[in-house]
Amino acid sequence: MNFPILSSLILLPTVGAFFLFFTRSNKQNNFTVKYVALFTSFVNFLLSIYLWILFDHTTSEFQFVEQRIWIEDFINYKVGVDGISILFILLTTFITPLCILSVNNSIKERLSEFLIAVLIMESFMIGVFCSLDLVIFYLFFEAGLIPMFLIIGIWGGARRVYSAFKFFLYTLLGSVLMLVAIITIYWLTGTTDVIELYSLGIETKYQNLLWLAFFSSFAVKTPMWPVHTWLPDAHVEAPTAGSVLLAAILLKMAGYGFIRFSLGLFPVASEVFTPLIYTLSVIAIIFTSFIALMQEDMKKLIAYSSVAHMGYVTLGIFTIQQQGIEGSIIQMISHGLVSAALFLCVGVVYDRMHSRLINTYGGIVSIIPKYSVLFMLFTLAALGLPGTSGFVGEFLILMGAFKDNFLVAVIASIGVIIGAAYMLWLYKRVIFGKLINNDLKKMIDLNRSESIILTSLAIPTLFFGFYPDPLINTIEVSISDLIETYNFRLASKI
Amino acid sequence: MTNLQLVFPEIFLSLSIMFLLILGVFKKNSSKIIQNLSLAVLLITAVITFNETISIKEVKLFNNSIIIDYLSSLMKIVTLLATFLVLIISSNYLRTFKIFKIEYPILILSSVLGMMIMINSNDLIVFYMGLELQSLALYVLATFNRDQMKSSEAGLKYFVLSALSSGLLLYGCSLIYGFTGSTNFNVIANQLGSSEYAITFGIVFILVGLAFKISAVPFHMWAPDVYEGSPTSVTLFFTMVPKVAALTVFIRFLYVPFLNLIDQWQMILIFLSIASMLFGAIAAIGQTNLKRLVAYSSIGHVGYALAGVATGTNEGMQSSVIYIIIYIIMNLGLFSCLLMMKRENQYYEKIEDLSGLSKNHPMLALSLMIILFSLAGIPPLAGFFAKFYVFKSVIEQSMYFLAIVGLLSTVVAAFYYLRLIKIMYFDKEKEKYDTDHGLWLKFSLTFSTLLILVYFIFPSQLIEVVSRINII
């Protein structure tokens, strides 16, 4: 272990951003700027693939661990990956180049600043997924607010200011309590090192409050009902690339946090609060699915469907069953791919017609057939058709849920039906039907970069739908170990 | 003779002030020379302080009325360097308003002398002398732009309210003297046992006076008006330097004689801290003038600094010192930006004047954005670490209420900082500002922004410097 591969993954996008900072964006070198950003993020993707190849999935130990003294006697800079985190890193590095590729049509001004924000965002998010120290985790977790705030606020739609503020303040409010909890953990145990904390454990009497403090942060970020309201606003107003980042990666930070910290550090409290999570998840699944059914704005509909999907994720995590947690992680990865693709699909028609309202469209299947096929694929993946990655995740989650709590599982299964309803209805209204709006006839089908983006999202969606083994292999051992320690510590009450 | 050597910085400074005063009287048009000489004096004093006293653990002089230790040396150097930067970036501003006069640097030097005496004091009388010297110079500085109504008003307001608080403070001193028989901090510490309640009254009065000087809620009323009315360069001085001295006295006064009475004063400090954090955050939301906004934001920041002092531990006190140092750097950057918003010999200080700054002056807007995010306490910028250390020490003492209220008020405060960023980045641009700023102004902005930005790479250095403070 000589080459600091994780630190390189974190730093590389920032270095790219640094280069971009000195390349002013104007008409001529717009391409240079874009290629620099694309190149950086693509190299980062290759690096993460290399990481996956080197990754040893037969052990649940943290690998590629790097440790440096950061603040003497207090905090170490410590990063490492295990089966749970590596997939999120891959997702991040995979989505970012696609995001950058997609800015062609949507971002007209201040392109280089936008790309800088996206790259810095990538750095922070990779940092979140591989940090092994609570304080470092918090740093990355919070720092991500700055670029996202700017992405929504500068390049967003009409109500962007309101949405940007709502996004920032909601998530900040959720996170400050987590900071209190992190410092408290430091004073209780004398360390913020996650690996050490796993072995030390935290006294039972403190766990409930600490769990709630972490929960307040993750619940806002997930987002769980009833603190989900920032998400539709943020999504609707953000530019396409911003929505993609938000849906595909940002939301996963909370799910990851639940597995890594809530389950890992506070097993007793997690057991206590499982009914709370179940209730909120089920409400999120049913309630937001109904809300999604009523939306007239495509982006809003997908945003609400994200809330519902994240409801499955939290449900699966807290089943504490092998299948449940595996399903949650696969669901997060699949949702990362599918929701990114759906937002990009909306972006494609928005760039042409400048409307996100469903009733603007209708009957475009004959005008833009390529688009319609790909959109169909992602719609089906979103509702969890067998053969797409969405199915694997949902199926495993529900399997885990049936093992743990029959009633919850039954209600959650109803959500699948409503999910199918709103997705198919959306597809029907947009793509099929009579062509009423004559402006639609001028629409052109996918151009080259759009086809590349959507196809490269479609391939893994289908591939992992038919053959989820690579994903499951990677996470299996880590999760079974996690559950084992969880049950052990639950029994011994630490 | 060795004794005098230790107060050599103060002696040198006072002699220089007198010399500069005489030079100013006899030489016509000497404001430029005096400005440059004052800068040199500040630097030399800082160097002398560093050489003579930084390595001294603790020495008391003049019948124990003056104390030289690491805390005082460090704070004096911080004061001197901050004053140096303030003075050097304000010259263009003063020239624009035609108030580039010899009195300005001399008054600043005298108030710095007062602050150094405050920082050194180990005795109520010495402390009071330093405080008054400092305040008198500040009253005049506030009115320095005589031709403007607002400036004169600010000075008068400051004078009246400050005199009132000095009266309260003096009354507290006399109470403590009456019940312990001494004005010396160490003697007071030994005499505590007998009449605790009476002494508590004294402490309360002194705390009121100090809270006024440091503009903590509920004794903050003067701050917004004075900050708004004074010339911007003086406001800059007000928001940074006197707070360092006042915080040092806070620490010294509470930790040396009265640490055993912590139950009595801790509640007061927690109240001051919470009230300042909340009020600073909430009241700033409605402001339209940037200087007023900065006034409220500085009230809020004082609240965080006091939270560290309220713990009554060495770590807490150190975290306050770290906080105030980082705060000074952020404020320096913020005011450098304010001083750059100039168009045709007029300075703009309304919030709307920031509108669309990012289009016309991308670098200025970027720096200001970094500074504002840092003031809001968003990681990985320096402002986050300042808050982090404070809350770390607060939570160590299990003062969860203070920590949670403090962190929640950062969320409220984030709102108005974000509003400024929103105006800069999301709104339509206006006319361009001048770009021919002085070299030093550019330097101080770049310097503070870079420091804020890269602080997270080297967080240990500042801690190392501060962790040598040990007065308990």
**Which pLDDT does position B374 carry in this prediction?**
92
**Residue A364 three-state SS:** coil
Query: Which of A355, A379, A370 lies closest to A445, judged by CA?
Result: A370
Q: Are A101 and A453 in contact (CB under 8 A)?
A: yes
Shortest Cα–Cα distance, B400 to chain A (Å): 8
**Which pLDDT does position B449 carry in this prediction?**
92
Which string of DSSP letters, residue by residue, matches B33-90? HHHHHHHHHHHHHHHHHHHHHTT--EEEETTTTEEEEHHHHHHHHHHHHHHHHHHHHS
- Where are the extended beta strands (E) located within A24-176? 63-71, 75-81
Nearest to B415 among A70, A169, A184 (CB): A169
- Kindly state whether A150 is in contact with chain B, defined as any CB-CB distance less than 8 angstroms: yes
Query: Which tokens sit at A108?
Result: 């007209």
Q: How far is CA B260 from CA A47, A423, B138, B210, B270, in A?
A: 59, 68, 34, 20, 17
Q: Are B444 and B293 in contact (CB under 8 A)?
A: no
Q: Do A176 and B407 touch (CB under 8 A)?
A: yes
Q: A71 to chain B: nearest residue by CA?
A: B460
Chain A residues close to B463, C-beta within 8 Å: 71-72
Residues of B at the A interface, defined by Cβ within 8 angstroms: 373, 378-380, 384, 388, 391-392, 395-396, 400, 403-404, 407-408, 410-411, 414-415, 418, 421-422, 425-426, 456, 459-460, 463-464
Shortest Cα–Cα distance, A229 to chain B (Å): 18
Domain count, chain A: 1
Element (H, E) at B346: strand B346-347
- Domain that includes residue A289, residue range: 5-492
> DSSP label at B195?
G
- Interface A-B, measured as beta-carbon pairs within 8 A, has a size of 78
Measured distance CA(B417)–CA(A163) in Å, rounded: 16
Measured distance CA(A422)–CA(A424) in Å, rounded: 6
Query: Which tokens sit at A430?
Result: 């947009």
In a mutagenesis test of the B interface, which of A114, A125, A180, A205 is the best target, namely the one with the most B β-carbons within 10 Å? A180
Q: How far is CA B281 from CA A143, B220, B381, in A?
A: 21, 13, 19
Q: B423 to chain A: nearest residue by CA?
A: A161
Nearest to B378 among A70, A142, A184 (CB): A142
**Which pLDDT does position B1 carry in this prediction?**
46
Reported as a single tens digit per residue, the pLDDT across A57-99 is: 888 888 888 888 888 778 888 888 888 888 899 999 999 998 8
**Which pLDDT does position A234 carry in this prediction?**
85
Chain B residues close to A160, C-beta within 8 Å: 426
- Kindly state whether A223 is in contact with chain B, defined as any CB-CB distance less than 8 angstroms: no
In a mutagenesis test of the B interface, which of A70, A74, A75, A146 is the best target, namely the one with the most B β-carbons within 10 Å? A146
Q: B418: number of CA atoms within 13 Å, CB side?
A: 27
In a mutagenesis test of the B interface, which of A72, A172, A175, A191 is the best target, namely the one with the most B β-carbons within 10 Å? A172
Distance in angstroms between the alpha carbons of the first and the last residue of chain A: 33
Q: Do B463 and A143 touch (CB under 8 A)?
A: no
Q: B468: number of CA atoms within 13 Å, CB side?
A: 16
Which string of DSSP letters, residue by residue, matches B399-451? -HHHHHHHHHHHHHHHHHHHHHHHHHHHSPP-PPPP----HHHHHHHHHHHHH
pLDDT tens digit at each of 472 positions of chain B: 457 788 888 889 999 999 999 988 888 888 888 888 889 999 998 888 888 777 777 888 888 888 888 888 899 999 999 999 998 888 888 888 877 788 888 999 999 999 999 998 988 899 999 999 999 999 988 888 888 888 888 888 889 999 999 999 999 999 888 888 888 888 888 877 766 777 888 889 999 988 988 888 888 888 888 888 888 888 999 888 999 999 999 898 888 888 878 888 888 899 999 999 999 899 988 888 888 898 999 999 999 999 999 988 888 899 999 999 999 999 999 988 888 888 887 888 888 888 888 888 888 888 999 999 999 988 889 889 999 999 989 988 888 898 889 888 999 999 889 888 888 888 888 888 887 778 888 888 999 999 999 888 888 888 888 888 887 7
**Residue A239 three-state SS:** coil
Measured distance CA(B402)–CA(B399) in Å, rounded: 6
Query: Which of A90, A171, A161, A168 lies closest to A130, judged by CA?
Result: A90
Measured distance CA(A189)–CA(A175) in Å, rounded: 21
Shortest Cα–Cα distance, A143 to chain B (Å): 5
Query: Which tokens sit at A323?
Result: 């299948």
Which residues of chain A, if any, have pLDDT below 50?
Answer: none
> DSSP label at A1?
-
pTM value surpassing 0.95: no
**Which pLDDT does position B275 carry in this prediction?**
92
ipTM score for this prediction? 0.89
| Chain A residues 154-213 with CB within 8 Å of chain B | 154, 160-161, 164-165, 168-169, 172-173, 176-177, 179-180, 183-184, 186-187
**Which pLDDT does position B5 carry in this prediction?**
80
Q: A143 to chain B: nearest residue by CA?
A: B379
Residue A309 makes CB contacts below 8 A (sequence gap 6+) with A331, A335, A339, A382
Q: Do A71 and B414 touch (CB under 8 A)?
A: no
Q: Vertex A161, ends B374 and B435: CA angle to 5°?
A: 55
